[in-house]
Each structure stands twice: as C-alpha cells, then as structure tokens.
Amino acid sequence: MFATLHDKLNAVFKKIKGQAKITEDNIKDAVKQVRLALLEADVNYKVVKKFISAVQEKALGEEVLKSLTPDQVFIKIVHDELVNVLGGDDQSTKIKLNPIPPTKIMLVGLQGSGKTTTAGKLAKYFQKNGKDVLLVADDIYRPAAIDQLEILGKQLKVDVFSKRDEQDAVKIAKEAVQHAKSAAKDVVIIDTAGRLHIDETLMEELKNIKEAINPDEILFVADAMTGQDAVNVAKTFNEMLDITGVILTKLDGDARGGAALSIREVTGKPLKFVGTGEKLDAFEPFYPDRMASRILG
C-alpha cells in the first residue's frame, strides 16, 4: 500500500526524466499515483480529494515545471502537505498539563482499541517525566479490565484506583479525582469502559463522567489497523464528547498511517501519541513529519 507510493512516484518521474520538458500532464500523472496510493491505503475519500487538490495546485506552480529535479521537488511538496494536514508544528499535539494538579486525562474508545495498555504507557511516560500518576479503572462491566490495569500498575509501581463493588462509573471517577487530590498526584489517567460497537448507554456514561470531573484531556484511542472504521468511530466520539486529541495504537502492524491522516482531517483534533507495540515503552509522542515520511515509505 503506502510502502509502494515512493516507488510509484519514482516510476512516474523516471519516465519524465527521458523527456526534454516536464508538462502539466506529467504532473497530473504523478498526482494520480498519489491519489491512488492514498485511496488504496484506506484514507477517507474526502480527505484524499482535499489533499490532492492542494498538492496539484502547488505542483502545477512553476516550481516543479522548471526544476532540474522535478521528482524531488514533487515528493517534497507531497511530504510537506502531509505534514501540514497532520498538524504541522501545531503545539496542540502536546498534553496540556493543568497548572493546578492533578491533570485529569480520560481515555475513551472501543474495546480492544488498546485503551488499557495505553493507560499504562501514558502512566510510564509521565512517570519518566517525574510526575506522580494515579491510574483509575473505571470499567464497571469487565472485571478483567480492572485486573489488567492493576497488573500494569504493579509493573510500573503506579497506584491504581478501583472499586470492584461500585456500579456507578461517574461516582468512581469523582472519588478517584478526590483521592488524587488528597494524595497530591500530578496526573490522573482514567481508563473508561469500551464496547465492541458504539452504543448510547456507553456514550451517556462517558458524557456524565466528563461533566462530573471536567477532564483536561479526553483522548480517543484508535486502532490504526481498523482503517475507515476507526475514522467513523473517531467522528462519533468527537461529536458526542468533543475529544481533545487522539492516540493511534498498533502502528507496528501493517497500517501505514492512513488512519492518522483521515482522523486528523475528519475530527480536526490533534494526534498526540502513537503506540508501536504491546510493551509499555512502545509509545511515543506524535510527530507529523515522522508520520509523513512513514506514509511516503
């Protein structure tokens, strides 16, 4: 998919190199290859359309037509436009730490997207930055999810707040924040319940938690392997909860980053971190230029 985009562009420009002059048709041919590669990679068609028209406009400017190395100029235009769509040097990709601790972070997403693992990864990330973290198991439906978070907490030596007998997720969240305040924690990470599909009860519950604790960040955890589905789900979560950012997991798989491009465009919300494996340190801040290079292959 994406891995071959660079090769395809090289092939297009190799043809061109034999000619005396670059023409508009040559550029349109190259643009077409980019378009196909993005569609093949499951990038949302509306996103592709917008992206392509921006690239075409820039590429048809004198820059490429006059250049002695049109292939490189063209690839740079595509790369720069990708960086731009992925957020450029937008500082909103950083986590906003509340000047009055604790900073409250709510993780939301479908079951299996990697929420609980990501809660552990985030805890480790903050721990490395000298922060005292409280992890909160706020999934009242799956005791296994509580077990999973407790195991992660033990591994990281991070406190985990849970209440196995409580059936009210809002109450758990409120109590957890109170506990974090009295224990002078810097960051509270709330792992909420997920479902296999979006349903109203889940959304209501998440909205109620949001209202009750007023989180600094609501991060939507998206599985990069699920392509278009991840985009649609992100859209719904954003409409319901007005998320503040996205964490894209499982980028160690085949996914080349198409989901990153679509989610950013469709929700307008920044990607903040990426997960690149099952281990707790397989996690890094999101860098638009790295993702653009990955997409270009």
Question: Which residues contact ligand GDP by CB under 6 A?
Answer: 109, 111-117, 194, 249-250, 252, 275-278, 282
Pair of tokens at residue 258: 């198409």
Closer Cβ to ligand GDP, 93 or 276, answer by number: 276
250 is in an annotated binding site: yes
Closest separation between CB of residue 268 and ligand GDP, Å?
23
Distance of closest approach, residue 58 Cβ to ligand GDP, in angstroms: 34
- C-beta closer to ligand GDP: residue 47 or 222: 222
Q: Which of 182, 176, 181 is nearest to 160 (CA)?
A: 176
189 with 104: CB under 8 angstroms?
Answer: no
CB 258 within 8 A of CB 38: yes
Report the 10 Å Cβ neighbour count for 2. Answer: 20
Q: What distances in angstroms separate CA 141 from CA 146, 149, 192, 208, 225, one per listed residue?
A: 10, 14, 10, 16, 25
Residue 275 marked ligand-binding: no
Nearer of residues 150 and 252 to ligand GDP, judged by Cβ: 252
Q: What residues contact 224, with CB distance under 8 A and at least 6 apart?
A: 230, 248, 249, 250, 251, 253, 255, 257, 259, 260, 274
> CA 173, CA 191: separation in Å to the nearest integer?
10
Closest CB 35 distance from ligand GDP, rounded Å: 29
Answer whether 110's CB lies under 8 Å from 198's CB.
yes
What contacts 278, CB < 8 A, 6 or more positions away?
Answer: 117
Comparing every residue's Cβ against ligand GDP, the nearest one is 275
| Closest to ligand GDP by CB, 93 or 249 | 249
Which residue carries 């993005």 as its tokens?
Answer: 38
Q: Is 226 assigned to a binding site? A: no
Nearer to ligand GDP by Cβ, of 274 and 295: the residue is 274
Q: Flag whether 191 is marked binding.
A: yes
In degrees and rounded to multiples of 5, residue 87 shows phi and psi of: 125, -5
Q: How far is the CB of 255 from ligand GDP (least distance, A)?
A: 10
Distance in Å, CB of 121 to ligand GDP, minimum: 8
114 labeled binding residue:
yes
In the complex, minimum distance from the CB of residue 139 to ligand GDP, in angstroms, rounded to a whole number: 8
**Residue nearer to ligand GDP on the CB measure, 112 or 143:** 112
User: Any binding-site annotation on 115?
Assistant: yes
Instruction: Flag whether 272 is marked binding.
Output: no
Per the annotation, where are the binding residues for GTP? 109-116, 191-195, 249-252
Annotated binding residues: 109-116, 191-195, 249-252
